[in-house]
Amino acid sequence: MTTQQTDRAQPPLDALARLESEAIHIFREVAGEFDRPVILFSGGKDSTVLLHLAVKAFWPAPVPFPLLHVDTGHNLDEVIDFRDRTVARYGLRLVVASVQDYIDDGRLQERPDGTRNPLQTVPLLDGITANKFDAVFGGGRRDEERARAKERIFSLRNSFGQWEPRRQRPELWNLYNGRHRAGEHVRVFPLSNWTELDVWRYIKREAIELPSIYFAHTRAVFQRDGMWLTAGPWFGPRADEPVEELTVRYRTVGDGSCTGAVRSEAADLDEVIAEVSASRLTERGATRADDRLSEAAMEDRKREGYF
């Protein structure tokens, strides 16, 4: 983010520049049409790219929205550390909706499998209602999953936060319709048209900092359901799950009890991009147990108000 004069002759917009321009356009539409937008921010790569685009959209003014983190309490220290540093660097306000608080006072109950991703929906919706947020930016991409592939960039949610796929508005040209009634809100996905590889290439082009867990490192892990999970206070292992020291990295950031690491030697961005290009598994399929539960897992959770 420098102000130096570049004065370069502009080559035609390439695919990444078009995606960036589209995302910036979406951020500015929301800033112009909504009263209380918020950016969902987990410290993961997609929400970090989202925040980077927001900073670029409103430069040199600060980002005119706060951030909201739905905290499962099952975090890797590196991610929370990164989250707090990023918030401080941009001088933003962070609202945390804590799943742990809900469990502590009995509003939510821990699941038998210990997984907390499905528990995020209630704190998320309560956080949206309590703060009267009317537009909620998420880092979701349509290439992640078949149900997401059908979601609009502006996705209207009723007062229960539910997505109704059969009642979606047609989304025409780049004219977004953000009209909603009191109590309803709109989920906005500026990265809708990006692929996982686009995100990584953009991170490299823009030199965006990420939590260190995205790059190969040595970690004490154990195997469950074919995934490598971090040994830690919440995650296990059980007695029959031996812990090993392996070189791994994470492809996504999520609840530690159901988000796995992958064996990887990719220690920098070039190596990660090479690995993602060659991968034979989707990032969710490789590392997210919660999406494997049923064929319609994501659609069901979205209907309930999940991102």
Partner 1 sequence: MGHTTQDLLRLATAGSVDDGKSTLVGRLLYDTKSVLADTLDAVHRASVDKGLSTPDLSLLVDGLRSEREQGITIDVAYRYFATPKRSFVLADTPGHVQYTRNTVTGASTAQLAVLLVDARKGVLEQTRRHAAVLALLGVPRLVLAVNKVDLVDYDEATFEVIAKEFTDHAGALGYPIGSVLSIPVSALVGDNVVDRSAHTPWYTGPTLLEHLETVPVEPDPHDAPLRFPVQYVIRTNTAEHTDYRGYAGQVAAGTVRPGDEVVVLPSGLRTTVARVDTADGELAEAEAGRSVTLVLADNIDISRGDLIAAAAAAPVAVEEFEATLAWLSDKPLRAGARVLVKHGARTVQAIVGELNARFDEQKLTSVPDPESLALNEIGRVLVRTAEPLPVDDYAINRRTGAFLVIDAADGSTLAAGLVGAGLPALSGPGTPTTSGDLVSPGP
Which residue is it, tokens 């034979």?
280
Q: Which of these segments, 106-114, 115-123, 192-200, 244-252, binds partner 1 (CB under 8 A)?
A: 192-200
Q: Which of these segments, 87-95, 100-108, 166-174, 256-264, binds partner 1 (CB under 8 A)?
A: 166-174
3-state secondary structure 144-179: HCCCHHHCCCEEEECCCCCCCHHHCCCCECCECCCC
Q: Which residues contact 287 (CB under 8 A, 6 or more apart)?
A: 227, 250, 251, 252, 254, 259, 260, 261, 262
- In the complex with partner 1, the residue whose CB is nearer, 74 or 201, is 201
Residues in 13-72 that interact with partner 1 by CB under 8 A: 13-22, 24-25, 28-29, 31-32, 55-62
Q: Which of these segments, 83-91, 163-171, 234-242, 247-255, binds partner 1 (CB under 8 A)?
A: 163-171
User: Measured between alpha carbons, how far is 131 from 37 in angstroms, rounded to an integer?
Assistant: 10
- In the complex with partner 1, the residue whose CB is nearer, 73 or 178, is 178
Tokens of 246: 């392996």
Work out the angle between the directed axes of helices 269-278 and 196-206 (0-180°, nearest 10).
Answer: 170
For residue 84, how many other CB atoms are within 10 A of its CB? 12
Tokens of 169: 């508005």
- In the complex with partner 1, the residue whose CB is nearer, 99 or 298, is 298
Q: Smallest gap, in angstroms, from Cβ of residue 77 to partner 1? A: 29
Interaction of residue 147 with partner 1, rule CB under 8 A:
yes
Tell me which of 193, 212, 223, 247 binds partner 1, using CB under 8 A: 193
Q: In this structure, are residues 229 and 261 in contact, taking their beta carbons and an 8 Å threshold?
A: yes
Tell me which of 46, 71, 134, 299 binds partner 1, using CB under 8 A: 299
Tell me which of 158, 195, 212, 247 binds partner 1, using CB under 8 A: 195
Q: In this structure, are residues 85 and 265 in contact, taking their beta carbons and an 8 Å threshold?
A: no
Provide the mask over 66-105, with x wherever binding to partner 1 is found by CB under 8 A and - wherever it is not: ----------------------------------------
Indicate the pairing of strand 185-188 with strand 67-71: unpaired
Tell me which of 89, 93, 107, 169 binds partner 1, using CB under 8 A: 169
Q: In this structure, are residues 71 and 42 in contact, taking their beta carbons and an 8 Å threshold?
A: no
Q: In this structure, are residues 45 and 203 in contact, taking their beta carbons and an 8 Å threshold?
A: yes
Q: Which of these segments, 127-135, 229-237, 238-246, 270-278, binds partner 1 (CB under 8 A)?
A: 270-278
C-alpha torsion 251→98→66→37, nearest 10: 90
Q: In this structure, are residues 93 and 67 in contact, taking their beta carbons and an 8 Å threshold?
A: yes
- In the complex with partner 1, the residue whose CB is nearer, 177 or 247, is 177
Q: Smallest gap, in angstroms, from Cβ of residue 277 to partner 1? A: 7
- In the complex with partner 1, the residue whose CB is nearer, 61 or 239, is 61
Tell me which of 98, 100, 162, 177 binds partner 1, using CB under 8 A: 177
Q: Which of these segments, 97-105, 116-124, 171-179, 230-238, binds partner 1 (CB under 8 A)?
A: 171-179
